[in-house]
Amino acid sequence: MSIFDKFGAIASLRDDFMELGVNPFNVVIEEVLSATEAVVNGRRTILAGTNNYLGLTFDERCIAAGKAALEGQGTGTTGSRMANGTYAGHLALEEELAEFFGCPAAIVFSTGYIANLGILSTLPGPRDPILLDADSHASIYDGCRLGTGEVIRFRHNDAADLDRRLARLGERAASALIVVEGIYSMLGDQAPLQEIVAVKKKYGAYLLVDEAHSLGVLGEHGRGLVEQAGVADEVDFIVGTFSKSLGAIGGFCVSRWAELEHVRYAMRPYIFTASSSPAIIESTRVALAVLKDQGGELRARLWDNAHRLYLGLQRLGFSLGPETSPVVAVSLGRSKEAALGIWHELLARGVYVNLVMPPATPNSNCLLRCSLSAAHTPEQVDAIVEAFAALQTQVAAC
């Protein structure tokens, strides 16, 4: 017996990938040309799977802020936030996030994954149930596993099922934490947040919304689904990331409860992780300012592109997610080999999308997941549709 035997199935799948000459889960970006194009396998390629929703990765103001911080404060902090890793910029970003969301408390983390790990492993105690949407992101599941709260899954976007499960908890429902996402990353559908809030209020529970894919994308001011649904006063915690609309890397939690500050000193993923570099923090601060000042214009462009792609693929007869979104997922069959071949053909035609396979998908089907950007041109969106159109026969047979 070898310690590596358990990875036999993964190794076999990887060998299948390598026969094609490209591993869809380890694509090498040889040269980045812009927020929407790169060189992959020596070919100029449209990037249609990067989550760069507002296209800010090449914003000159963000780059200038990062450069200045790099030159003035060095490449990294070399320590955790609890040691030497809290610079003035980290505190300034926390203040700016709190102001942006209208909350008294905010904590910045090194990644969005660590934000969920820290909050969900620490906030609920042994007697505090966590009611989790079944389609929640892996970071949410992992944060729950790391903690001591009892995890109860409810059916995806089903407020009635959530109600039934809370009812069974009796008085424990008052300390339950409900966890949903603004936009779900695989199919691009949104949580029925007003219905979820009504159930939450009925039992006096707490509610956390992960706005990773909806920050900058939804709401009049880009604050996410919480803002768009008009329920900000009823949501207790908002978690998000800087690696999508803000074009950097990092994560945050804001709360209408000032007591969130107490949680900071108990979160192991926060205490024992090196803090974000000054360059990342400063570029994120500028990106947040751009979101405040120009977010409406960028969102309009993003949603124009999203509608253009969704309707274009819908007209071709592809099976898509339930609603228009900057995340547009084409559902394939269950054959991983066929899905891999279609993904490879798209790449050969100069279009990069995400190939997602079970168990990462909400059902047993494979997905070709596209994500749009405000920086995509209408011509690029049309080129994506044309690439899919050329593969209609293969998709239908998948």
Positions marked catalytic: 185, 213, 244
Residue pair 131/162 in contact by the 8 Å Cβ criterion: yes
Q: Is 216 left (phi over 0), alpha (psi -120 to 50) or beta?
A: left
CA distance 130 to 120: 9
CA distance 375 to 326: 12
Residue pair 256/248 in contact by the 8 Å Cβ criterion: no
What are the strands, taking DSSP E only, across 288-335? 327-331
Place of tokens 């709260």: 149
Residue pair 181/192 in contact by the 8 Å Cβ criterion: no
In the chain, which ranges are continuous DSSP H helix?
8-20, 60-73, 88-101, 112-122, 138-146, 159-167, 193-203, 225-228, 260-263, 268-271, 278-315, 336-348, 378-389, 392-397
Residue pair 278/85 in contact by the 8 Å Cβ criterion: no
Sheet of 31-32: strand order equals 31-32, 37-40, 43-47, 351-352
Tokens of 244: 């999508």
CA-based nearest residue to 295, from 378, 374, 348, 364: 374
CA distance 132 to 157: 10
Question: Cα-flanking dihedrals φ and ψ of residue 394, to 5°?
Answer: -65, -40
End-to-end CA distance of the chain: 37
Residue 120 CB coordination number (10 Å): 31
- Residues counted in the chain: 398
Under DSSP, the state recorded for 170 is: G
Residue pair 190/96 in contact by the 8 Å Cβ criterion: no
Under DSSP, the state recorded for 49 is: B
CA-based nearest residue to 206, from 144, 128, 266, 145: 128
The dihedral sign for the CA sequence 322, 328, 333, 335:
negative
Place of tokens 């969005």: 112
